[in-house]
Amino acid sequence: MRSALALLAAISPVLAGVQEVWWNITYVLNANPDGLQPRRVIGINGTWPPPAVDIQSTDDLLVHAYNSLDQPMTLHHHGMFFNSTSWMDGALAISQCGVPPGQSFDYTVPISSNGQWGTYWVHSHAGGQYVDGLRAPVVIHPPQEKYQYDEEFTVVLGDWYHDEHAVLLKQFISIANPGGAEPVPNSALIYFAQNATYLGPISGTHPDSVTAAVGFNDNATLPFQPGKTYRLRVVNTSAFAMFYFWIDGHDMRIIEADGTDVEESPIDLLTVTVAQRYSILVTARNDTSQNWMIHANMDTDMFDTVPLTLNPNITSSVTYDSSNSVTDLGTIDAYSDVDDIALVPLVVEPMLPSTRTIPLTLSFDTMDDGTNRAMFNGQTFVSPLVPTVMSEMSLGANATVAQAYGPFSFVLNHLEVFDILLQNSDTGKHPFHLHGHKFQIVQRSLDYTSSDPTLNPPINESQTNPMRRDTVQLPAGEGVVLRVVADNPGAWIFHCHIEWHLEAGLAVTLIEAPLQAQERNAIPDVMFQQCAALGMPSSGNAAGHPTSDLLDLSGWTLGPFQQVLGWRPKGIVAMTGCVLTAVIGMLTVTWYSLGGHISEEEMEHEVRMQQEAKLRRGKFFGLIKPKN
Ligand SMILES: *[C@@H]1O[C@H](CO)[C@@H](O)[C@H](O)[C@H]1NC(C)=O
Ligand SMILES: *[C@@H]1O[C@H](CO)[C@@H](O)[C@H](O)[C@H]1NC(C)=O
Ligand SMILES: *[C@@H]1O[C@H](CO)[C@@H](O)[C@H](O)[C@H]1NC(C)=O
Ligand SMILES: *[C@@H]1O[C@H](CO)[C@@H](O)[C@H](O)[C@H]1NC(C)=O
Ligand SMILES: *[C@@H]1O[C@H](CO)[C@@H](O)[C@H](O)[C@H]1NC(C)=O
Ligand SMILES: *[C@@H]1O[C@H](CO)[C@@H](O)[C@H](O)[C@H]1NC(C)=O
Ligand SMILES: *[C@@H]1O[C@H](CO)[C@@H](O)[C@H](O)[C@H]1NC(C)=O
Ligand SMILES: *[C@@H]1O[C@H](CO)[C@@H](O)[C@H](O)[C@H]1NC(C)=O
Ligand SMILES: *[C@@H]1O[C@H](CO)[C@@H](O)[C@H](O)[C@H]1NC(C)=O
Ligand SMILES: *[C@@H]1O[C@H](CO)[C@@H](O)[C@H](O)[C@H]1NC(C)=O
């Protein structure tokens, strides 16, 4: 503990306070937040949900984490910069080997020196543990808020599965699921916190005992007083599902997105994709004669099937006077997305000219092992054997050689300004998160293949203050350009925040300013000891080979890879795209199981049918476009 505090002191030369929390990360049996099915979850000190964190921006956070699980664990403080200490970022296989079972690790989270405040969250970045419940909101208060309000609440939204993540993952990445249908959540959760304490259930309701201290969904309510203005911090902790959020009878104004304060902007409907956060101001009504419904509707577009048992539209309420009834204005006509490129940051940050473009096109495909995987530029991400930051710190002058980190890695020069040109060739929408940075969203195209400038405009280099955030939503067929300054030496992952897609390989790593990283802080010894305890190498290239074998990645199993053409019947070859290969993958399985007893014509017919069905789905996705 002393060493961790010393480290914090070194990072934060200005005398700052330290808020310490002790988290014993444990399994919790029979948690039943949705009231539908008790299940084992991951919580803290035998309780769930993990405590909300509330901290002043002049302080630093020190999390003493003890791992009582039977698997390596990490904590990622989502959106925090960890300037020059990227090994504290908690991304398994990028920043650390993981805290072994029965061991502890002190996460030092610099805040006072980072100039960050607003709404964040903390979650595990290992083995889908956050899907099993290891996730909590983090609220950072600046000395002076930009907006005035009377009181604030944190609104936590999340999808919820009745099965454990490991079970679902096995079904997801499987030759029995060549089309890559993601596990559909069993329900959704909404619950509230204030001052690091979750609000309890409405009196008179008696939820299941293990999670009885917290009110969920209909059993939760926000107490409003007439005329007061409330700041609601909405955090989406989903693994998959996106939400639409609104409050009947009340207007909302956005004032913050992912820790960036923005000019007040009215909004009818808040779209919160996985891992995004928004703060809204809501002015309470003057009359207390009725209470009002809060709606959080899960977006089911991405679900391959919507089970009849799933209620995607959950509700909670705003209470003025508990003796009155709740007014439900019910459904809405059409969903729309928040046009985040139109938000204007209060603190102006100019757009610097970019000197490099990293094009990343995402796709899904059925691979040569029959499973469905995600790819950037045709390459599915596989965790390196050595955490990337440990390679970066141990390779000396050779640390600038990108091939040493594997095929999905990019080495950046110190203070280089670069663009990530992100294109979505898939029929689903994907939320992307860059660690260690906020990016500016400098261009969006509704169709990245189009030559029509209304659909695919050139980058406007004259923008004076583009919106910046840490998580961006990318709808089907669209493109976005993210401008980033490489001002944070270390190793950072850029990935889809849909947990299933990260695990299917939708990630790349950025190795930033290796030589500057080596000159700055050192990785704490305990991290090397924990790698050793887990039997993992902690130096050399991605496969653990020394600089003398810099480009030797043997021992590290890459892949699977895209299928080679060849066996396909001639009629099918003319069709292109990942949709097709996915379907063919599915049919390959059928074809083999039938001992090849299916004619080329039959197969072609089947492929055409399936392709049309998928296209219809894609069109449906396309219906939801940003509002102007
Ligand atoms: C967890 O338990 C430890 C040991 O009893 C205690 O010091 C700590 O404050 C607890 N943490 C939380 C968040 O309850
Ligand atoms: C953490 O919790 C487990 C299970 O309750 C307990 O056995 C262990 O002693 C605790 N460890 C610490 C460091 O508090
Ligand atoms: C929450 O914290 C604020 C500031 O610390 C304080 O003014 C307020 O009274 C607290 N509210 C509750 C309900 O504890
Ligand atoms: C709300 O409380 C009731 C009991 O009063 C319980 O049956 C129901 O499952 C609870 N709902 C949730 C979402 O916890
Ligand atoms: C949370 O993110 C998921 C995944 O993008 C999304 O489907 C869901 O609608 C989001 N929730 C909210 C409240 O926006
Ligand atoms: C509440 O009443 C005050 C004073 O009459 C008025 O200024 C305000 O606009 C009213 N608020 C709402 C939400 O109607
Ligand atoms: C959920 O709400 C949407 C929008 O109001 C509506 O179209 C849909 O039918 C609802 N779904 C269910 C299962 O109630
Ligand atoms: C690694 O560094 C050594 C010494 O600086 C150099 O001779 C060698 O060419 C480098 N290897 C590669 C692949 O760049
Ligand atoms: C580019 O952005 C500037 C500043 O916001 C604006 O004045 C100008 O009209 C934009 N140009 C185009 C072509 O949209
Ligand atoms: C990191 O700190 C340096 C100053 O030491 C600063 O120039 C840079 O902007 C910071 N980067 C981030 C991402 O906070």
The answer on pLDDT for 571 being more than 80 is: no
Q: Could you tell me if the CB of 463 is within 6 A of ligand 9? A: yes
> Could you tell which of 202, 219, 313 is best to mutate to test the pocket of ligand 4, judged by most ligand atoms within 8 Å of the CB?
219
Pocket test for ligand 8, best of 398, 403, 518, 548 (most atoms within 8 A of CB): 398
pLDDT of residue 565: 56
Judged against a pLDDT cut of 70, whether residue 491 lies above it is answered with: yes
Q: Is residue 411 part of a domain?
A: yes
CA separation for the pair 43, 52 (Å, rounded)? 12
Q: Which domain holds residue 609?
A: 575-621
Eight-state DSSP code of residue 132: T
At residue 208, the 3 state secondary structure works out as coil
Q: Is 573 helix (H, G, I), strand (E, B) or coil?
A: helix
Same domain, 193 and 292: yes
Tokens of 332: 């809405």
First vs last C-alpha separation in the chain: 51
Return the pLDDT at 429.
87
Does the model's pTM come out above 0.85? Answer: yes
The pLDDT score that the predictor gives to residue 476 is: 93
The CATH number of the domain holding residue 517 is: 2.60.40.420
Co-location of 325 and 405 in the same domain = no
CA of 50 to the centre of ligand 1 (A): 11
Side chain identity at residue 456, one-letter code: N
Phi, psi torsion values for 365, nearest 5 degrees: -160, 160
pLDDT for residue 275 is more than 90: no
Asked whether residue 383 falls in the same domain as residue 319, the answer is no
Ligand 3 mean position, distance from CA 487 (Å): 36
Predicted confidence at residue 337, as pLDDT, reads: 75
* 558 in any annotated domain: no
Is the Cβ atom of 460 under 6 angstroms away from ligand 9?
yes
254-261 average pLDDT score? 94
225 CA distance to ligand 6 middle (Å): 13
Compute the distance from residue 526 Cα to the ligand 2 centre, in Å: 20
> Do 86 and 117 contact (CB within 8 A), yes or no?
no
Asked if residue 522 and residue 476 are part of one domain, the reply reads yes
Point out the ligand 6 atom lying closest to the alpha carbon of residue 283.
13
Cα–Cα separations (whole angstroms), residue 380 to 182, 463, 542: 17, 35, 15
User: Which pLDDT score is estimated for 178?
Assistant: 81
CB 68 within 8 A of CB 152: no
Phi, psi at 142, each rounded to 5°: -75, 165
DSSP string over 275-307: T-EEEEEEEPPS--S-EEEEEEEE--TT-S---
Q: What pLDDT score was predicted for residue 582?
A: 52
- At 237 the pLDDT is 80
pLDDT for 236 equals 82
**Residue 628 clears pLDDT 50, i.e. is over it:** no
> For the residues 399-428, what does the mean pLDDT come to?
97
Same domain (yes/no): 296, 392: no
Domain boundary among 342, 373, 388: 342
For strands 277-283 and 229-236, give the pairing: antiparallel
Which residue among 299, 319, 342 closes a domain?
342
Least confident of 48-52, 231-235, 241-245, 457-461: 241-245
Q: Is 336 in the pocket of ligand 3 (CB under 6 A)?
A: no
- Which amino acid is located at 63 in the chain? V
- Could you give the 3-state DSSP secondary structure of residue 399? helix
Q: What angle do CA 309, 312, 313 make, to 5 degrees?
A: 125
pLDDT of amino acid 341: 87
Residues of the chain with pLDDT > 90, as a percent, come to: 73
| C-alpha–C-alpha distance, residues 488 and 510, integer Å | 11
Token pair, residue 498, equals: 């849909």
Using a 6 Å cutoff on CB, does residue 34 contact ligand 4? yes
Q: How far is the centre of ligand 2, averaged over its atoms, from the C-alpha of 68 (Å)? A: 6
- Answer yes or no: do 396 and 298 share one domain: no
* Closest-lying ligand 4 atom to the alpha carbon of residue 32: 14
Q: What is the mean pLDDT of the chain?
A: 88
* Domain shared by 158 and 277, yes or no: yes
Residue with CA nearest ligand 7 atom 10: 313
Cα–Cα distance measured from residue 555 to residue 591, given in angstroms and rounded to the nearest whole number:
34
Residue 290 lies in a domain: yes
* Window from 8-12, 94-98, 189-193, 395-399 with minimum mean pLDDT: 8-12
154 CB less than 6 Å from ligand 2? no
Name the CA dihedral angle for 172, 175, 178, 182, rounded to a multiple of 10 degrees.
-10
The C-alpha atoms of residue 192 and residue 217 are separated, in whole angstroms, by: 9
Tell me if residue 82 falls in helix, strand or coil: coil
The yes-or-no verdict on residue 12 having pLDDT over 90 is no
pLDDT reported for residue 338? 76
Query: Which ligand 4 atom is the nearest neighbour of the CA of 36?
Result: 9
Is 628 within a domain? no
**Cβ–ligand 1 contact at 19 (below 6 Å):** no
Residue 310 φ then ψ, to 5°: -85, 125
Residue percentage of the chain with pLDDT more than 70: 87
pLDDT at 619 > cutoff 50 = no
Nearest residue to 356 (alpha-carbon basis) of 501, 242, 481, 449 = 481
Q: How far is the CA of 285 from the centre of ligand 6 (A)?
A: 7
Between CA 321 and CA 324 the distance in angstroms is: 6
Q: What is the CA(20)–ligand 5 centre distance, in A?
A: 31
Q: What is residue 458's predicted lDDT score, i.e. its pLDDT?
A: 97
Please indicate, yes or no, if residue 562 is contained in any of the structural domains: no
Phi, psi of 69 (to 5 degrees): -85, 180
Q: Let me know if residue 203 belongs to a domain.
A: yes
pLDDT at site 623: 26
pLDDT digits (tens, 9 = 90+) for 344-375: 999 999 999 999 999 999 999 888 888 899 99
Picking from 309, 342, 375, the residue at the C-terminal end of a domain is 342
Residue with CA at minimum distance from ligand 1 atom 10:
22
Q: Tell me, using a 6 A CB cutoff, whether residue 557 lines ligand 9.
A: no
Evaluate: CB of 547 within 6 angstroms of ligand 8: yes
Q: How confident is the model at residue 248 (pLDDT cuts 50, 70, 90)?
A: very high
**pLDDT reported for residue 446:** 95
Total structural domains within the chain:
3
Residue 487 Cβ < 6 Å to ligand 10: yes
Question: Tens digits of per-residue pLDDT, 70-105?
Answer: 999 999 999 999 999 999 999 999 999 999 999 999
Whether the predicted pLDDT of 43 surpasses 70: yes
Contact 120, 22 (CB under 8 A): no
Same domain, 6 and 139: yes
Q: Which residues line ligand 5 (CB under 6 A)?
A: 157, 236, 238, 240-243, 245, 271-274, 296, 298-299, 431
- For 516-543, the pLDDT digits (tens) are 999 999 999 999 999 999 999 999 999 9
Q: If you take atom 10 of ligand 3, which residue's CA is the nearest one?
A: 195
Indicate whether 328 and 475 sit together in one domain.
no
Q: Are residues 332 and 366 in the same domain?
A: no
Query: Average of pLDDT values for 59-65?
Result: 97
Q: Answer yes or no: is 564 within a domain.
A: no
386/498 same-domain check: yes
Which amino acid makes up residue 82? F
Over residues 180-198, the mean pLDDT reads 94
In the prediction, which pLDDT does 622 show?
29
Q: Is residue 530 lining ligand 4, measured as CB closer than 6 Å?
A: no
Q: What tens digit of pLDDT does each residue of 206-223 get?
A: 888 899 999 999 999 999
CA nearest ligand 7 atom 3, residue: 331
pLDDT of 583 reads 52
Q: Is 24 in the pocket of ligand 2 (CB under 6 A)?
A: yes
pLDDT tens per residue, range 577-615: 444 555 555 555 444 444 444 555 555 555 556 555 554
Q: Is the CB of 620 under 6 A from ligand 1?
A: no
**Listed range (73-82, 191-200, 426-435) with the worst mean pLDDT:** 426-435
Does residue 438 share a domain with residue 329?
Answer: no
Q: Hey, whose CA ends up nearest to atom 9 of ligand 8?
A: 398
User: What letter does residue 183 receive in the DSSP assignment?
Assistant: P
Q: How far apart are CA 266 and CA 174, in angstroms?
A: 44
E-state strands within 17-176: 17-31, 39-44, 53-56, 59-67, 76-78, 104-109, 118-123, 135-141, 151-160
Q: Which residues of 511-538 are buried (b: 16+ CB within 10 A; e: fewer)?
A: bbbbebbbeebebbebbeebbebeebbb
Burial bucket for residue 120 (CB in 10 Å: 0-12, 13-18, 19+): buried
Nearest atom in ligand 1 to 47's CA: 14
Residue 430 lies in a domain: yes
Biggest CA–CA distance in the chain, Å, is 76
In terms of Cβ atoms closer than 10 Å to its own Cβ (0-12, 13-18, 19+), residue 60 is: buried
Distances (CA, A) of 583 to 27, 175, 366, 613, 620: 39, 12, 8, 11, 19
Output the pLDDT for position 592: 42
Section 450-463 average pLDDT: 97
Model confidence at 480: pLDDT above 90: yes
Query: What Rg do the C-alpha atoms of the chain give, in angstroms?
Result: 24
Q: Of the given ranges (133-137, 161-165, 543-547, 575-579), which has the lowest mean pLDDT?
A: 575-579
